[in-house]
Amino acid sequence: MKKLNLLLFLTTISLVFSSCNEKYPELQDGIYAEIVTNKGTTVAKLHYDLTPMTVANFISLAEGTNTMVDSIYKGKKYYNGILFHRIIKDFMIQTGDPLGTGTGDPGYKFPDEIVDSLSHKSKGILSMANSGPGTNGSQFFITLKETPWLNGKHTVFGEIVLGQDIIDSIGVAKTGPRDKPEEEIKMLEVNIIRKGSNAKSFDTESAFTNKLKVLEEEKAEKEKAEKEKAEKIAAKFNELKATATKLESGLEIAFVNQGDGEQPKSTDMVNVNYAGYFTDGKNFDTNIAEKAKELGTFDERRAADPRGYAPMPMSYSPEAKMIPGFKEGVQKMKVGDKAVLFIPSHLAYGEKGVGPIPANTDLIFELELVSIQGKE
């Protein structure tokens, strides 16, 4: 009996000392990143349950277990010693680039892991930096205030729970060209803290590969559906083109609805709805919200702008600052008319192209002349 009591006593003492030695005992179960900087230490909670792939990537880099990194980083705790290379007051602080220039990466890229319930809702949000969809690597930023315009564009994967004052102090550092701090501010260490059985059993390799597989399957299904939709749109346009009138310039126009609306004057400003397509039926732009939703291209950020999804004002004149085929087509229309324009590349963006439109690309536009400004 005495031996049993002694064993219980020693076990209790062991647990007490273990608890006393445990880092941040006030934190609840979860996975945390202790970010030790030369300005102080901060702790972030990582959303491993909601963004397992992104958190797995972060942890494996921090602990030096990532197998996809370039050979020069293998076996090394990737984030230790990395600079905060970009600081924008009242916006964010950015780090995670081994080159310290904003151009570096670990040697691979992985997809976005956007979760609607995670947003850039306040200061202290950890989010992946990228150069466009599917270009995540190792760079991340921490917000200094609410930044809702980043929602849906960057993967939120954590938030500061201790040491926000350290983040705030870094956020007011003096900067020079390209928002680079004048003094070196760096992460000395990034240590991963796991609390609770679920956190301790989180396997980074399987979490990353499993979620990546799911996202790749979803992407393939989405691309297949988009291709089928585009093929149907292209077939519809091919039927319409057979009925189109070809003008001397090379522009072809097919009226879908032609009524007795008012004829604008060359001095008028008119409002136009449009949807632009490539000849394979893929949409590249529209100012019609319902059309964007139908095509799966609706942009919440654009919708937040009162002018985002609204009729486009333009001059009803040969001098309008539009591509030649577009303005020529509009000048054939009256208020209320709907038409489809088949614009050859030389009447579109020609040999230079622009944005998502390659050089020497024929375009198709669905148009509606909504109104004459001042006569709505």
Arithmetic mean of pLDDT, 82-97? 98
Q: Which domains does the chain have, with CATH numbers?
A: 26-209 (2.40.100.10), 230-372 (3.10.50.40)
Kindly report, residue by residue over 102-151, the tens digit of the pLDDT: 999 999 999 999 999 999 999 999 999 999 999 999 999 999 999 999 99
The Cα–Cα gap between 103 and 85 comes to 10
Q: What's the whole-number average pLDDT of the chain? A: 94
**Percent residues over pLDDT 70 in the chain:** 94
The mean pLDDT value for 191-197 works out to 98
What is the mean pLDDT of the segment spanning 221-229? Answer: 94
* Mean pLDDT of the region 345-355: 96
Would you state the pLDDT for residue 16? Answer: 46
Would you say 329 and 343 are in contact if contact means Cβ atoms under 8 Å apart?
yes
Question: What digits encode the pLDDT tens for the residues 199-209?
Answer: 999 999 999 99
- Of the given ranges (21-25, 165-169, 246-250), which has the lowest mean pLDDT? 21-25
Distance (Å) of CA 2 to CA 5, 7, 8, 9: 5, 9, 10, 10
The answer to whether residue 19 scores a pLDDT higher than 80 is no
| DSSP code per residue over 42-79 | EEEEE-TTT-HHHHHHHHHHHHT--SSS-GGGTTS-TT
Contact (CB, 8 A) for 104 and 98:
yes
In angstroms, rounded to a whole number, what is the distance separating the alpha carbons of residues 103 and 261?
55
Q: What is the mean pLDDT of residues 16-25?
A: 65
Active site residues: 86, 91, 94, 130, 141, 150, 154
User: Cα(264)–Cα(270) distance, rounded to whole angstroms?
Assistant: 8
What was the pLDDT predicted at 376?
A: 74
Q: Which of 118, 115, 119, 113 is nearest to 149 (CA)?
A: 119
For position 4, what pLDDT does the model report? 47
